[in-house]
Chain A
């Protein structure tokens, strides 16, 4: 149950990051968003 809730939390945060990465931003900020997004997305895919 807790795994599912954490999956939901990571997925919600990842979707918001995805929404923000498509906006025009300075390069350094885009790198930051991409780094966090990739980590969140990969971890979300790993949750069993």
Chain B
């Protein structure tokens, strides 16, 4: 058997073994991906290649910095009471359909900024769950999870798209740029459809009994300006460069620290920033470990062999087959192996690839994060939550996201006008 196949087998088996042994615990997947990268390097007879193991994560560094900065901003908004204030305002909306849309946007908002679902579940999702009136807690939990999933898919930040973007090209990864409109078009149908079919549960969110949060105007002004700048950066990036979203989120965080009069002490502000970074650590570490895994697979010739094998086939067919494989494997083994497959699916379209196609491919990763038999966004296997419950709740948004994703993969070359 070819040496590259042995290397790939060892790397896959370690990663799969880790997923099975830890019941898809995301924290442990970092350790096993790293172990697989080291083992792959050793099996190839190259020793422990420190350079490749740390060079892989560098390809993701810029996008992960943005995720980290957004996570700090989200945590500050949560701690200073801006989210609670916004929830009060949303609950005051009289029209139930409008309120359902506002609540879903409220749930999705942190995940839109950070690109990972956990930030929604721990902030706005928590607030919505606390205020739900007359809705089954399990139903509300699933609603929040689906809202977070939609937030992950929507722009500006989307970790699945960042992972997929890294796969294109062999020497340099595709930068995470030009994804705003493709991601918006992928997420919008799911957002509208889910808000309409789940109107009753979403509109059941009521006002808190606690005293109303005050002094939020300066914080909301900063938040509003941040949203405007992020949209401008996403839509007009090719003609107007504002320093990137990392800088925007960082400056917004500093401004909130300045105008947040209720912080009380420097320690409260310090803890909020620290917690914001810590909330992003696991998603960032998973992506970095995946970077090592991919880099070692390239170094040991696995990617070369893959290129040779797929040579006779059309790139669209390769992408669709790998997307289907990632979906199937991801249901049982969660994110690591599907993420690897999606980077390889995008690889044939080359460096500076069409971000519409890349975004289409990445939809599978967002779906796998939600619909998995153990773990995932909804925490399947814990507290009586089953993957079938998640599927029943999320089938429509998941189907819409996947359908638009496949259309983007197939027709991406005709949709380049979406890249800004």
Residues of A within 8 A of B (CB): 2, 5-6, 9-10, 13, 16-17, 19-20, 26, 28-29, 31-33, 35-36, 38-40, 42-43
- Residue of A9, A28, A29, A32 with most partner-chain B CB within 10 A: A32
Tell me the minimal C-beta distance from A28 to chain B in angstroms: 4
For the complex of A and B, list the 3 residue pairs with the smallest distance between their C-beta atoms, beginning with the closest. A32-B285, A28-B27, A39-B57
For the complex, what is the distance from the CA of A26 to the CA of B57, rounded to whole Å? 23
Which residues from A are CB-within-8-Å of B73? none
Pairwise interchain contact A32-B34, C-beta atoms closer than 8 A? no
For the complex, what is the distance from the CA of A45 to the CA of B246, rounded to whole Å? 19
Pairwise interchain contact A17-B281, C-beta atoms closer than 8 A? yes
For the complex, what is the distance from the CA of A44 to the CA of B284, rounded to whole Å? 16
Pairwise interchain contact A9-B31, C-beta atoms closer than 8 A? no
**Which one, B218-226, B270-278, B319-327, B366-374, is touching chain A?**
B270-278
Tell me the minimal C-beta distance from B276 to chain A in angstroms: 9
Pairwise interchain contact B65-A6, C-beta atoms closer than 8 A? yes
- Which chain A residue shows the least CB distance to B251? A5
Interface of B, helix, strand, loop or mixed by DSSP: helix
Residues of B within 8 A of A (CB): 25, 27-28, 30-31, 34, 54, 57-58, 61, 64-65, 68-69, 243, 246-247, 250, 273-274, 277-278, 281-282, 284-286, 288-289
- Which chain A residue shows the least CB distance to B285? A32
For the complex, what is the distance from the CA of A10 to the CA of B54, rounded to whole Å? 16
Tell me the minimal C-beta distance from B84 to chain A in angstroms: 25
Which residues from A are CB-within-8-Å of B281? 17, 20, 29, 32-33, 36
- Residue of A9, A19, A29, A35 with most partner-chain B CB within 10 A: A35
Query: Other than the known A6-B247, A32-B281, what 16 A-B pairs have Cβ atoms closer than 8 Å?
Result: A6-B246, A9-B65, A13-B277, A28-B25, A29-B27, A29-B281, A31-B27, A31-B31, A33-B278, A35-B30, A35-B57, A36-B284, A39-B54, A39-B288, A40-B61, A42-B54
Return 10 A-B CB contacts under 8 Å, by A number: A2-B243, A9-B65, A9-B247, A20-B281, A28-B31, A29-B281, A31-B285, A32-B30, A36-B64, A38-B54
- Which chain B residue shows the least CB distance to A19? B274
- Residue of A19, A26, A39 with most partner-chain B CB within 10 A: A39
Which residues from B are CB-within-8-Å of A16? 273-274, 277
Which residues from B are CB-within-8-Å of A33? 278, 281, 285
Contact of B282 among A19, A32, A42, A43 (CB under 8 A): A32
Which residues from A are CB-within-8-Å of B57? 35, 39
For the complex, what is the distance from the CA of A1 to the CA of B30, rounded to whole Å? 34
For the complex, what is the distance from the CA of A42 to the CA of B61, rounded to whole Å? 11
Contact of B289 among A13, A29, A35, A43 (CB under 8 A): A35
For the complex, what is the distance from the CA of A20 to the CA of B281, rounded to whole Å? 11
Which residues from A are CB-within-8-Å of B64? 36
Tell me the minimal C-beta distance from B250 to chain A in angstroms: 5
Which residues from B are CB-within-8-Å of A38? 54
For the complex, what is the distance from the CA of A6 to the CA of B69, rounded to whole Å? 11
Which residues from A are CB-within-8-Å of B69? 9
Contact A28 B277, CB 8 Å, known A5-B247, A36-B285, A39-B54: no
Which residues from A are CB-within-8-Å of B27? 26, 28-29, 31-32
- Which chain B residue shows the least CB distance to A44? B61
Pairwise interchain contact A35-B288, C-beta atoms closer than 8 A? yes
Tell me the minimal C-beta distance from B170 to chain A in angstroms: 21
Contact A13 B68, CB 8 Å, known A31-B30, A35-B288: yes
Which residues from B are CB-within-8-Å of A43? 58, 61
Tell me the minimal C-beta distance from B60 to chain A in angstroms: 8
Pairwise interchain contact A10-B65, C-beta atoms closer than 8 A? yes
Pairwise interchain contact A13-B28, C-beta atoms closer than 8 A? no
- Residue of A17, A19, A36, A43 with most partner-chain B CB within 10 A: A36
For the complex, what is the distance from the CA of A28 to the CA of B289, rounded to whole Å? 13
For the complex, what is the distance from the CA of A33 to the CA of B279, rounded to whole Å? 11
Tell me the minimal C-beta distance from B40 to chain A in angstroms: 17
